[in-house]
Amino acid sequence: MIATVLRGPGVFALLLAVSLACRWMAFVPAVIDTDEGLYMLQAREWLRGNWPFVAVWDMHPPGAPALIALALALAGESIRSVRLLGAFCVALAGWALHLLVRAAGGVPAIALTAGLAYVVLTPMFTGLATNTEILFAPFVVGALALATRLARRALDHGEAPRLRDLVPIGLLVGCGLVIKQVVVFEGCFAFALAVLLPWWRGVLAWRRVLALAGAYAALCATPILLLGATYLAMGEGATLWDALVEAPLRYGLARLPMGLAAWVVVAELLTAAAPMLLAAVATVRPIAEHRRLLALGWSWFAVAALGVAAPGMFFRHYFLMLLPPLGLLAALGAWRLAATLWPARDRAAVALLVGLLALDAWRMDAAPRLLDGRGLYQPDPVRQVAAALRETVPAGSRVFMMNYHAVVLVLAEMNVATRFAFPAQLSGRFFRALPVDADLELARVLAAGPAAIIVDRGWMHTLRREAIGMVEEALAARYALAAAVAEERGPVEIWRRRDPAE
């Protein structure tokens, strides 16, 4: 089988090819998830020397804009560069999952199937966007692969983990934490595999466990501490602290009610019904050789679910955290089903099942996009708005995005009118997460007279009444409607100052 022929880089090359094939629709639309556009705006400003939070504010760590800035620097300032980064990270995480299965004692065929399963499942849950969950997956899965190797040494050979063994694990988890705080759960899981499991089996003394725990915590904290030292040196330490610690706490006050959250969880698990069914097949009547991998996969799934639930919002892309362990469990289910129904041709059967997983995941995103046609046989409204904005005001003008996608500012080469450039935070329902009074900041922005204001009429229901009133008053007093672009729910209006000279 192909798994017995491919080694090292060959596995990664295959996974990258499959990732690009499954994710080609990502290269069509300008917007898949609006968060991605904010990271791209932060990345562009960073390349100009304007640091995250100081120039463009957010309450996520700056790891996502850092990786996107690297992609823009290497491949050019375009949507294509960002989506290519996403495909690369998916392949890298799939490769790390392959290594994890091998570290746990799985045969090459199961390891390759697990990596492929993860890669082909990523179009689900708006996973075609290069979002945080796509970007931190290689770091998390890589750390767990190394931790799994240490756990196996302890269980099978009685070898105790050493401090130097924890260095790459802690630093990988630390890099993940610089992308998103919820990595903390899987970081703890990695420590449990590498240290607590050996302690439970009597390989380590509890005093040694405490020493390793302190060292591991320091390793995980190293990347964020270096970042903090940089901001302190710039005199922006308080800005970083508020964005990464206090703002998420303020954001958490707007959690979904438990009843609504339950409905969302059920709906998203139904989205992943195919891999969940394969996971159930692997679990109900497990093959003896799969028991250790099953225990690892379900434990990991439960820990990843904590990361999904922790913010309390249950946005679709949060569920991408479930896909690495689900890819492992689905791979075991595919081999279990093939061994039961087609024992003589189990390899061909597994290949068919992975292909069906890929088709099922791909069509969930592709079908509505093919019907909608934007970027294919219909114009892409986001790119149309960017083009109209370029014709309305000169490049480099300050533009206020009331409630549309922040990526338009990148596509149109415009500057932000406020560092709180994400509309849902300044004009929308997440205004309490800001470190400033949202109404005072909005009043300041409007008084300064940005060259243009962009209003998406189809999404006015998501805005605060106070924000709508302030903007409408400013439009009536100082602005003229320059262009309108049809969007799904209504027009996107570009309002230009009647006296645009600044």
pLDDT in tens, the chain (502 residues): 455 556 678 899 999 999 999 999 999 999 999 999 999 999 999 999 999 999 999 999 999 999 999 999 999 999 999 999 999 999 999 999 999 999 999 999 999 999 999 999 999 999 999 999 999 999 999 999 999 999 999 988 889 999 999 999 999 999 999 999 999 999 999 999 999 999 999 989 999 999 999 999 999 999 999 999 999 999 999 999 999 999 988 887 778 888 889 999 999 999 999 999 999 999 998 998 999 999 999 999 999 999 999 988 899 999 999 999 999 999 999 999 999 999 889 999 999 999 999 999 999 989 999 998 989 999 999 999 999 999 999 999 999 999 999 999 999 999 999 999 998 889 988 888 899 999 999 999 999 999 999 999 999 988 999 999 999 999 999 999 999 999 988 999 999 999 755 4
**Residue 42 near residue 58, CB atoms below 8 Å:** yes
Coil, strand, or helix at residue 294?
A: helix
Kindly give, in sequence order, each residue whose CB lies less than 8 Å from that of residue 271, ignoring residues fewer than 6 positions away: 124, 125, 319, 364
- Sheet (strand 398-401) strand order: 415-416, 398-401, 452-456, 491-497, 479-486
User: Letter for the amino acid at 372?
Assistant: D
Pairing of strands 415-416, 491-497: unpaired
- Tokens representing 288 are 């003896």
Residue pair 454/448 in contact (Cβ under 8 Å)? The answer is no
Q: What burial letters (b/e) apply to 135-150, b meaning 16+ CB within 10 Å?
A: bbbbbbbbbbbbbbbb
Q: Is 8 helix (H, G, I), strand (E, B) or coil?
A: coil
First to last CA, the chain: 67
3-state secondary structure of 31: coil
Q: How far apart are CA 208 and CA 211, in angstroms?
A: 5
CB 79 within 8 A of CB 289: no
Helix (H) or strand (E) holding 129: none
Phi-psi region of 439 (alpha: psi -120 to 50; beta: other; left: phi over 0): alpha
CA distance 134 to 136: 6
How many Cβ atoms from other residues are within 10 Å of residue 369's Cβ? 16
Which residues are registered as beta bridge partners of 193?
A: none
Q: pTM score, two decimals?
A: 0.94
Give the Å distances, CA to CA, from 139 to 86, 108, 118: 14, 22, 15
Q: Name the phi and psi angles at 41, rounded to 5.
A: -65, -45
Question: Positive or negative, the Cα torsion across 262, 265, 270, 271?
Answer: positive
* Residue 401, phi-psi category: left (phi > 0), alpha (psi -120 to 50), beta (remainder): beta
Cβ partners under 8 Å of residue 67, min gap 6: 85, 89, 135, 179
CB-based contact 197:154 (threshold 8 Å): yes
CA-CA-CA-CA dihedral for 112, 116, 119, 121, to nearest 10: -130
Q: What separation in angstroms does the CA of 237 have from each of 50, 231, 382, 398?
A: 15, 5, 35, 27
Pairing between strand 479-486 and 452-456? unpaired
Mapped onto helix, strand or coil, the DSSP state of residue 492 is: strand
Contact between residue 19 and residue 119 where contact means Cβ atoms under 8 Å apart: yes
Whose structure tokens read 């209504």? 490
